Amino acid sequence: MKNILLVDDNRTMLLFMEKMLSKRGYEITTASDGAQALQILEQRPDIQFVLSDWMMPEMDGIELCHRVKSADYSRYLFFVLLSGKDDQQSIISGINAGADDFVVKDTHVDELVARIKAGFRTLALHNEITNKNNQLDNAYATMKKDLESAGDLLKRLLPTENKLSGVELSYVSIPSAQIGGDMLGYMQLDEDNVGFYLLDVAGHGVSSALMSFSVQQSITVNSDKGSIIKSSIPEPPYYRLNEPHEVLKQLNDLYLSDDQNLLYFTMAYAKLNIKTGKLAFSIAGHPPLVWLHSKTGEAEFIGQDSFVVGAFDFVDYESAYLQLEPGDKIWIYSDGITEAEKGTAQFSEEGFKNAVVELKDHPTTVQTELLVNRVRDWQQAVQFDDDVSVLVVEWTGYPKGEEPCNTRLSTKVNAQFFK
């Protein structure tokens, strides 16, 4: 049933219109002025069509129209204003008040009914759009909640300890949205070695986050012998730790893109002997590491020219080896921090290295947070446009009584040092 609220202070006109419209299948509710009409609309949320006279005591049709068409009114109404005047100024006043249509009282009944039918078609379209928007809002709210839950789960994958045997660590990982494509981690590989890594999947959103999760699982879930991290050998201890370039090569084979999967990622993976301070690392399309020397307080870039993981099947990666001194720190980061912008300027890798030096006297456990806050202050913005991840690893020194390794910098292949 199509409901109409008919508003007129002339009882004769009210009865005539009610009878005429009822015969044409409309359910009519009547009010003698605007104030009474507002009360009825409050009690009858099913009424969305108002046919109102202009001139009435208490509250006229123009004021009633203003009220129900205001932004804070509870629902949408189709409002037709009836008037004995058909001059241009009256029509303009009615439309400016928010009326959807303007009808002169002596208009033929068939024309009035035709306009009412057109009004109900408009109402039907409005209600359909509103329902679809509500469905979209509900779907978005569900997706947002799911993404927030996924983001919380991904955060739980991040390390909770900031110390492993022989090393002290600190990190910050901030997705640019609910979930991001950065992932970092570290783990005790065996009694003598720890491994740590940071990867940055291209793009943002669900697909990037799922890939970062998958890579993380590939590295850490099966870190026993025969995994990406370790290989089985026939003699004791029946395994060997894979070199960093071997880890990246296996990941490239595992996540090689195809026509359906065009995702790839950059990554830095390192293996540190906690007794000797010998560090092995390999980089796949990732920004250079920063090596902070404890004795001199100076920092340098350590990087390699290499391909990203998952894009090409012909790729080989390289491992580089260097000797840390007790207190030396290795910084790994994603380009979201160095490409943070202020106007046309970027924070830059050089800016990152300088910040590392300036923060060297602070405790390792707080340095990453201090560095990220420094970038926020520099760009004068809290939110980053890209995922931001920063990891610092300090070798605290070989255990007492252990002779240090006398191996200085050595490389399996050429390692590039960026000053």
Q: What is the mean pLDDT of the segment spanning 91-111?
A: 85
What number does CATH give the domain 2-131?
A: 3.40.50.2300
What is the third-level CATH fold of 158-418? Phosphatase 2c; domain 1 (3.60.40)
Least confident of 48-62, 190-204, 402-416: 402-416
| Token couple for 79 | 């409002």
Q: Give residue 1's pLDDT band: very low, low, confident or very high (50, 70, 90).
A: low
| Token couple for 118 | 């057109």
pLDDT value at residue 50:
95
Per residue in 269-292, pLDDT (tens digit) is 999 999 999 999 999 999 999 999
Q: Is the pLDDT of residue 266 over 90?
A: yes
Per residue in 145-166, pLDDT (tens digit) is 776 776 677 777 788 888 888 9
What CA–CA distances, in Å, run from 120 to 252, 278, 296?
61, 79, 81
Rounded distance between C-alpha atoms, residue 220 and residue 224, angstroms: 9
Domain chopping of the chain, boundaries: 2-131, 158-418
pLDDT value at residue 222:
55
Q: Give residue 399's pLDDT band: very low, low, confident or very high (50, 70, 90).
A: low
Is 219 exposed, middle or buried (CB count within 10 Å of its CB: 0-12, 13-18, 19+)?
buried
Peptide linkage before 57 cis (omega within 30 of 0): no
Q: Give residue 86's pLDDT band: very low, low, confident or very high (50, 70, 90).
A: low
Contact 51, 17 (CB under 8 A): yes
Rounded distance between C-alpha atoms, residue 402 and residue 408, angstroms: 17
